[in-house]
């Protein structure tokens, strides 16, 4: 899955943003819906699946291991699974493109199957450490040979039966937790993950929904998630809610561009993912939840966001796990707030698609924003609602969230901001620029 040719893009300011949009399906849920459907016996149906490059990489890998996955003209995906323990030996290397989620979760799936798989990825993914997943999966019996630094390409030889373990997460990571739980699906006995700091819980919810025996307990050590192995998963019909990480860009954009009034439909508001809504409201954002409801076990609402005067805050560290992917666009909101915003507690940003702390500091400084970099976040002095100077060029570093976050910053800048490469947006939000044109009144 080669990375597309760089697409240089200059983004001008917007007069205002008005209208209703529906963001793509939640990326985390889309990955998990495909994986668990591929391990169920029978046909599952998924509506609203995110059709970005990352999720398509997951679908391609599952097809290579025996699942039949098809999409109809109406955008409904059908998955005929192979059953837990039924994954087949792939004939070629599994190309993960830019998707760390695909890589880490599929490593978990394969770890307890008697097959061998080689994982490859693009330059950005190949620079990201996999040791945090390699460690627990190796304890379960998988034989993993990685490139120097615990990086891709790597080869994983699964063990069946694998060994159930109890594993305490050294860092808050939903991907590591999910990889161990997915390995536990085909492992005799009970596999346990202890997370001292809660992370997004889509895996636990969806595993239980497919029929796995999952127990979640609150203890003095933190949340303990137990899964009983050798499960038989039942096929499901799933409607994927809108991705809160994608909605985040419009929440911030509508908040900072004067005169804006935007409704974002069908946004997933799982409490383990809603940290940005909490942080923006602390800053004074005008966000109203319309028609709150539950869809497929996940809380959902339409969000109406109107322009508001934002105030600088010190972001509580305990919000970090619930908004880790939204920090780049939170940094943008801070650039337009009154006073200083201190957003720390996010060490994990150093090992995302890029070093998002360094990347956002460089991008904001190039466009006239006063920024102080810390080892775990940024402090940002805002404009008090005025436009930032702009006029700089952003190095997006093959990172979709850097590209979209700085597009949002450009919407209230005195001079247009240029992205050196806008193509990474395709990994998670293929319609992003079309929807921007729609909200700004520039759609054809």
Residue 135 CB partners (closer than 8 Å, separation 6+): none
Q: Nearest Cα to 261, choosing from 441, 403, 429?
A: 441
CB-based contact 332:107 (threshold 8 Å): no
Asked if 325 is an active-site residue, the reply is yes
The response to whether 47 counts as a known ligand-binding position is no
Residue 32 marked in a binding site: yes
Q: Is 151 annotated as a binding residue?
A: no
Q: Check the annotation: does 150 bind a ligand.
A: no
325 assigned ligand-binding residue: yes
Q: Is 356 annotated as a binding residue?
A: yes
Is 100 annotated to bind a ligand? Reply is yes
SS3 325: helix
Is 128 labeled as ligand-binding? yes
Of the CA atoms within 13 Å of residue 50, those in its CB half-sphere come to 30
Q: Which helix (H) or strand (E) holds 64?
A: helix 53-64
> Which of 26, 201, 325, 399 is flagged as catalytic?
325
What per-residue string of b and e applies to 236-274 under the rule 16 or more CB within 10 Å gives b? bebbbbbbbbbbbbbbbbbbbbeebbbbbbbbbbbebbb
Q: What is the DSSP string of 304-315?
A: EEE----B--B-
The answer to whether 27 is a known ligand-binding residue is yes
Between helix 27-39 and helix 174-185 the angle, nearest 10°, is 10
The dihedral formed by the CA atoms of 194, 200, 204 and 210, expressed in degrees to the nearest 10: -160
Helix axes 174-185, 202-209, angle to 10 degrees: 20
Known binding residues for phosphoenolpyruvate? 27, 100, 128, 175, 356, 401
Binding site residues for 3-phosphoshikimate, as ranges? 27-28, 32, 173, 175, 325, 352
Summarize the annotated binding site as residue ranges.
27-28, 32, 100, 128, 173, 175, 325, 352, 356, 401
**Residues carrying an active site annotation:** 325
């Amino acid at each position: 899955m080669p990375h597309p040719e760089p697409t240089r893009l200059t983004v001008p300011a917007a007069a205002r943003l008005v209208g209703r949009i529906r963001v793509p399906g939640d990326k985390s849920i889309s990955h998990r819906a495909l994986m668990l459907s591929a391990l169920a016996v029978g046909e599952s149906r998924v509506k609203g699946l995110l059709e970005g490059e990352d999720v398509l990489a997951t679908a391609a890998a599952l097809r290579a291991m025996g699942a039949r996955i098809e999409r109809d003209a109406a955008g409904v995906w059908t998955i005929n699974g192979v059953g837990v323990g039924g994954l087949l030996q792939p004939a070629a290397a599994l190309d993960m493109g830019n998707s760390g989620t695909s890589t880490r979760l599929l490593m978990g799936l394969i770890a307890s199957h008697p097959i061998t798989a080689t994982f490859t990825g693009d330059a950005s993914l190949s620079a990201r450490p996999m040791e945090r997943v390699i460690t627990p999966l190796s304890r379960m019996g998988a034989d993993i040979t990685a490139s120097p630094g615990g990086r891709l390409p790597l080869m994983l030889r699964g063990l069946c039966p694998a060994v159930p373990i109890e594993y305490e997460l050294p860092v808050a990571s939903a991907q590591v937790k999910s990889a161990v739980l997915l390995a536990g699906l085909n492992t005799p006995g009970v596999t346990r993950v202890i997370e001292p700091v809660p992370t997004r819980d889509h895996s636990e919810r969806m595993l239980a929904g497919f029929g796995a025996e999952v127990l979640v307990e609150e203890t003095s050590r933190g949340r303990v998630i137990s899964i009983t192995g050798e499960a038989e998963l039942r096929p499901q019909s799933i409607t994927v809610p809108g991705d809160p990480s994608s909605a985040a860009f419009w929440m911030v954009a509508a908040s900072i561009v004067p005169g804006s009034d935007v409704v974002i439909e069908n946004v997933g508001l799982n409490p383990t993912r809603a940290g940005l809504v909490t942080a923006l409201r602390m800053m004074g954002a005008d966000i109203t939840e319309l028609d709150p409801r539950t869809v497929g076990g996940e809380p959902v609402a339409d969000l109406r966001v109107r322009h508001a005067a934002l105030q600088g805050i010190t972001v509580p560290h305990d919000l970090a796990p619930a908004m880790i992917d939204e920090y780049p666009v939170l940094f943008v909101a801070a650039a337009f707030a009154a006073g200083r915003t201190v957003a720390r507690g996010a060490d994990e940003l150093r090992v995302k698609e890029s070093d998002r702390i360094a990347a956002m500091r460089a991008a904001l400084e190039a466009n006239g924003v006063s920024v102080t970099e810390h080892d775990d976040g940024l402090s940002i002095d805002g404009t008090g609602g005025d436009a930032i100077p702009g006029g700089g060029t952003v190095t997006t570093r093959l990172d979709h969230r850097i590209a979209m976050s700085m597009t949002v910053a450009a919407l209230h800048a005195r001079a247009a901001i240029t992205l050196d490469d806008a193509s990474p947006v395709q990994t998670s939000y293929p319609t992003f620029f079309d929807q921007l044109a729609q909200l700004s009144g520039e759609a054809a």
